[in-house]
Amino acid sequence: MNKLFFRLLVLLMSLSLIGIILVQVYWFNNSFENNDEQFKFHVKQVLGNVAEKIQKQEAYNFYDKINHYKDSTG
């Protein structure tokens, strides 16, 4: 009886350990995917902001050149 109880206990502990490892692998993969999506979202946001700033700067430079040309031609 004692030997059977010990084997059953080892089996249950092994199954529990395997279950815990599987849950951790699932959580890790889920966390990795979420972080990847967040990273892509932030990169797109930053690129959009940079593109907007460059567009504003180019428009400012264009109008500045036009005004300079108007002033120089009289």
pLDDT of residue 5: 94
- Domain of residue 50, residue span: 1-74
- The chain-wide mean pLDDT, for the chain, equals 92
Q: What is the pLDDT of residues 22-73, one digit of tens each?
A: 999 999 999 988 998 999 999 999 999 999 999 999 999 999 888 888 877 7
Q: Position 70: which residue type?
A: K
* Domain total in the chain: 1
Report the b/e string of 43-59 with b at 16+ CB within 10 A: eeeeeeeeeeeeeeeee
pLDDT value at 74 more than 70: no
pLDDT at residue 51 in the model: 96
Predicted pLDDT at 28: 94
Angle at CA of residue 28, ends 25 and 30, nearest 5°: 110
Q: Which residue has the tokens 């890790």?
A: 28
Look up residue 30 and give its DSSP letter: H
Q: What percent of the chain has pLDDT over 90?
A: 77
% of residues, the chain, pLDDT over 70: 99
Distance of CA 40 to the CA centre of its chain: 5
